[in-house]
Structure 1
Amino acid sequence: MLGLEIVVVLGAIFLGARMGGIGIGYAGGIGVLILCLFFGLEPGSIPIDVILIIMSVIAAIAAMQVAGGLDYMVKIAENILRKNPKHITYLAPAVTYFMTLLAGTGHTAYSTLPVIAEVAKEQGIRPSRPLGIAVVASQIAITASPISAAVVFLSGILEPLGVGYIQLLAVCIPTTFVACMITAFVSNFLGKDLKDDSVYQERLKKGLVKLRGKSDIEIKKGAKLSVLIFILTIFSVVTYATLISKKVAIITDPSLPRNAAIMVFMLACATIISLACKVDTSKIISASTFKSGMSACVCVLGVAWLGTTFVGAHLGEIKDFASTLLNQYPWMLAVALFFASMLLYSQGATTKALMPAALALGVDPVTAVASFAAVSALFVLPTYPTLLAAVEMDDTGSTRIGKLVFNHPFMIPGVLAISLSVFFGFILGGIILS
């Protein structure tokens, strides 16, 4: 029966991957239905807090987008990239990393990908180099963002074990960023130079490659104010979470716990932006970030529910098999998280599905924090939206998916960046958390 259940779980995930987008969430629901009705499993816990945090954060980001705040951020990013075009391979991942760090979602990378591709072409740099690591950086930064659902959930289950919210960020932010920058250096040597790429030369002869030049983005009146309000809200969230943490305990027995605080702070942020920047709230639900975020909520609901249903039913067997293995080889947790996120397509869903079980097996907090970056292997299957967008934005043909499916320009940067993040995580985590 266990073998058949695994087939159902993997079948649902692969079906969802073929459907693409929100389909992974739909297929996850089918998997839960089959496991419960035909195999008699109890439904697992639904990641309600993770979903609600994503919804709240996206609500604020969508309000900021309608107010023109995202356009303003993209304009700043474009100016940075164009002032130092020769260093595009380093600046591109830095930009997408910090935009994700700030917003708590990798979907903000969409708006910068065309700029990255254009600047690279103008300099004769193979666009797949900066685009590959930029997409990967936007995914890994989720594990370092103060307001991402994955970070908030992990900090919640680690706090009883003596690891505070700020300690988690103190490990995750520097390790993931340094890993991305080292990977950016390596990316400079990946693939042929653009002038030597036969696909590029063929597309150039056919007139399929065009230089569009600097984009002309009109910045709305309330754009700067909306960004300021959003940044102040993030600062408030981090400050409040620190004050109520057990390590600091300036506010003891808070009436508003951290998860609820993030939700209401973000909804309050959306309200203030809408009022102060005179946002037409009817346009918010049509914003691209709102659509992407709500799609992500359905994906998390389906795949995380599928994961908790299966793991919860076999926690005893998993403990027997994994406890000895993880005690001997702690880094195997990172490997498990890597392959799980590859299939679950969500950092939040992977964290919710596997981290509680890992801690229940006796995995120590240092190992859990160090391995956390491995939940970002969303680049392995070339069907993730930001990955496909990068392929679409590059008209040189250098950012292409190979015939073997897995031989795409995101694989090497992704595996390397995650490996380095985990390696540095064990070092820095051992210093900060010990």
Structure 2
Amino acid sequence: MILVEVFTVLLFIYLGARIGGIGIGLAGGAGVLVLTLFLGVKAGHVPVDVILIIMSVITAIAAMQVAGGLDWLVDLSEKFLRKHPKRITFYAPIVTYMMTLLAGTGHTAFSTLPVIAEVAKEQGIRPSRPLSISVVASQIAITASPISAALVFFSGLLEPLGVGYLTLLAICIPSTFLACMIGAFTANFIGCELKDDPVYKERLAKGLVKMQGVTKREILPTAKLATAIFVAAIVAVIIYATLISDALHIIENPTLKRNDAIMVFMLTAAAAIVIFTKIDASKISNVSTFKSGMSACICVLGVAWLGDTLVSAHITEIKELSAGVLEQYPWMLAITLFFASMLLYSQGATTVALMPAALAIGVAPLTAIASFAAVSALFVLPTYPTLLAAVEMDDTGSTRIGNLVFNHPFVIPGVVTICSSVAIGFAFGGLIL
């Protein structure tokens, strides 16, 4: 029966991948139905906190977007990249990493990818190099963002084991950032030079390659204020988490738990943006970040629920099978998370589905933290939205998906980045914990 249940889970994940978009979440819900009603498995835990955090954060970001904050940040990013165009392969992932770190969602990369492609093209640099590592950086930064649902949920699992929220950030931020720079160095050597690429030559001869130049954006006068309010909310989250931490004991028995505080601060930030910038609140639900964020909620609901249903039903068998292996080879957890996230399309869903089980079977906190970055292998299958956007925005044809599906320019920089982050995480974690 276990094999039948595992096959059922994989079947519905495959079905969701074929549907695309929020299909992975829809198929996940259908998979829970089959497991529970037809195979007699008890339904697992619904990741309510993760979903509510995503909804709250996305609402604040969408309000900031309506007020022009995202356009202003993209404009700053373009000026930064154009000031250092020759180093685009290193500076582009810094931009997407920082925007994801700030926003808690990798979907902010959508607005910067056209700029990255254009600057690279103007400099005669193969656009696939900065685009590939930029997409990877926007994904792995989720595991370092103070307000990402994946990190907040993971922090909640670690606190009973003596690892606080700030300690987790102190390990994840430097390890993932340094890993992105290693990935950028690797990406700089992938593929031939743009001028030697036969696909680029063919497209250039047909007039399919266009030079757009500097993009002129109309920055709303409310943009800076909206961004300041959003950043202030993030700072408030970090300060509050510090005050209620078990390590400092500044606030004993807080009336507002950290997860609830994130939701409250983000919704308050959205309200403040609406009030002080006088934007039309009805527009918030129509912007791109809000729609992509709500889609992410459906994906996490379906897939994480499906994964938890299977894992919870067989946690005893998983402990018996995995405990000895992970104790002897702790890096195997990173490999498990890597392949799971490749199929689940979500850092949050992968974290919710597997991290509780990993810690329940006795995996050391250091191993779990170092392996955390491996939940970001969303770049392996060429179906993730930011990856597809990068391919579409590169009119030189250098960022292309091969006939073998896996032979695309995102794989090598992504694998190098995750491996580097895991290794650096073990090193940093060993010093801090």
Sort the TM-score into its range (normalised by shorter chain): over 0.9
User: CA separation in 1, counterparts of 2:47 and 2:10?
Assistant: 20
Q: CA deviation at 1:37?
A: 1.2
Q: 1:352 is matched with which residue?
A: 352
Over aligned residues, Cα RMSD in angstroms?
0.5
**Partner of 2:252 in structure 1?**
252
What does 1:419-430 correspond to in 2, within 5 Å?
419-430=419-430
Q: Deviations over 1:114-163 (max 9, x none)?
A: 00000000000000000000000000000000000011001111011010
Moved over 3 A (4+): none
Amino acid at match of 1:46: V
Secondary structure of the structure 2 residue equivalent to 1:209: coil
- Between the aligned partners of 1:232 and 1:292, the Cα distance in structure 2 is 24
1:67: which partner in 2? Answer: 67
What per-residue deviation string (whole Å, max 9, x for no partner) do you get for residues 333-388 of structure 1? 10011011111111111111111100111011100100000000011111000000
Task: Give the partner amino acid of 2:140.
Answer: I
User: What does 1:8-407 correspond to in 2, within 5 Å?
Assistant: 8-407=8-407
Structure 1 position 186, deviation (Å)? 1.4
Tell me the CA shift for residue 249 of structure 1. Answer: 1.4
Q: Which amino acid aligns with 1:34?
A: V
Query: Across the two proteins, how many residue pairs are aligned to each other?
Result: 433
- Distance in 2 separating the partners of 1:384 and 1:15: 15
- 1:181 Cα deviation from its structure 2 partner: 0.6
CA distance in 1, matches of 2:177, 2:21: 27
Shift, 1:264, TM fit: 0.5
Measure, in 2, the Cα distance between the counterparts of 1:230 and 1:13. Answer: 35
Alignment partners' CA distance in 2, 1:381 and 1:248: 43
CA distance in 2, matches of 1:325, 1:114: 45
Give a deviation string over 1:73-121, Cα, whole Å, max 9, x none: 0000000000110000001000000000000000000000000000000
What amino acid is the match of 1:126?
A: R
**Structure 1 segments unaligned to the other structure (5+ residues):** none
Q: Which amino acid aligns with 1:27?
A: A
Q: How far apart in 2 are the matches of 1:79 and 1:111?
A: 14
Give the residue type in structure 1 aligned to 2:345: Y
One-letter code aligned to 1:163: V
What's the offset of the Cα at 1:396? 0.5
Cα distance, 1:180 vs structure 2: 0.3
Matched residue SS, 1:248: coil
**Aligned-pair CA distance for 1:254:** 0.1
Q: Distance in 2 between matches of 1:271 and 1:355?
A: 34
Kindly, what percent of the aligned residue pairs are identical? 71
TM-score, normalized by length of structure 2?
A: 1.00
Deviation at 1:316, TM superposition (A): 1.0
SS at match of 1:400: coil
Amino acid at match of 2:47: P
Whole-angstrom distance in 2 between the partners of 1:373 and 1:249: 29
Q: Which moved more, 1:27-36 or 1:62-71?
A: 27-36
**Residues of 1 paired with 2:199 and 2:401: CA distance?**
13
